[in-house]
Amino acid sequence: MFINIYKSLLVILFILLIPYSIIAGDKIEHKIAVLVNEDIITSYDIIQRLKLTAIIQDMNLNAQNTQLMVNNVVDELIREKVKLIKINEYEIKAEDDEYRQFEENYFKRNKINQGKMLSLLEENKINYQEFKELLYNELVWNKLINGLFYRYTSVSDLEISELVGKNPGLSSKQAENLVIQRQLDLQSSKLLRDMMNEATVEYK
């Protein structure tokens, strides 16, 4: 059901076409794969994120889907590097308690068993820090977007009425939050698109 690194690694390496040194203990060479401005993405980063994504999406890696997943993972890692430029510029951080709450909500929202998830990370030799970094970056990016654009959002009574009409189970407050979140998502996409256009991405 979930991926097993020993079954999928050869497929991943063949499709990535990166010369790895496979040593005892499943260690691989940390080869630079992509350069994003001054930041590097290594082959190890790609493999780790690929396995993590497959676990989160409950997907088995095979010859048919791995190349697409590799492309998506590389794009995702590039976007994260670009986001960090703005996050660091504004010195956005999250406290430990804030992160723990965000992680708990992530598991609840996606209906993922936390204990099972952590076991799968260990079984597939994925450092928990990789998973934490993924969520932490999402958290601080959301904080940045809220800080930059929340004061510019607005919601009309008509928008709330229309949304509640289409989704009777929603309260007016929930509908208001959804409208605001959509506006913030649009601002997030626009900011990231502009930053991507300015970034220098070099594939090694």
Cβ contacts of residue 86 below 8 Å, gap of 6+? 144, 191, 195
Position 163 pLDDT exceeds 80: yes
Give which of 34, 9, 29 is closest to 200, Cα–Cα: 34
Give 16-42 as a DSSP string.
HT-----BTTTB----EEEEETTEEEE
Position 10 pLDDT exceeds 80: no
Q: What are the extents of the domains in the chain?
A: 5-203
The pLDDT, as a whole number, for residue 96 is 97
Instruction: Give the three-class secondary structure for 124.
Output: coil
Structure-block tokens of residue 197: 């256009």
Taking the alpha carbons at both ends of the chain, their separation in whole angstroms is 33
Query: How high is the mean pLDDT of the chain?
Result: 86
Name the residue with tokens 């350069």. Answer: 35
Give whole-number Cα distances, 198 to 6, 16, 97, 151, in Å.
39, 27, 34, 26
Q: What are phi and psi of 201, to 5 degrees?
A: -115, 125
Position 189 pLDDT exceeds 90: yes
- What average pLDDT does this structure show over 25-32? 63
Structure-block tokens of residue 181: 């979140």
pLDDT-derived band at 28 (thresholds 50, 70, 90) equals low
pLDDT digits (tens, 9 = 90+) for 74-84: 999 999 999 99
Instruction: Give the three-class secondary structure for 108.
Output: helix
Name the residue with tokens 């590389």. Answer: 74
Position 196 pLDDT exceeds 60: yes
> Could you give the CA distance from residue 202 to residue 196 in angstroms, rounded to a whole number?
13
Identify which has the larger pLDDT, 127 or 21. 127
What would you report as the CA-atom Rg of the chain, rounded to the nearest whole angstrom?
20
Give the relative orientation of helices 66-89 and 172-198 as an angle to the nearest 10 degrees: 90
Q: Which superfamily, per CATH, for 5-203?
A: Porin chaperone SurA, peptide-binding domain (1.10.4030.10)
Counting residues of the chain whose pLDDT is more than 70, the rounded percentage is 86
Identify which has the larger pLDDT, 66 or 136. 136
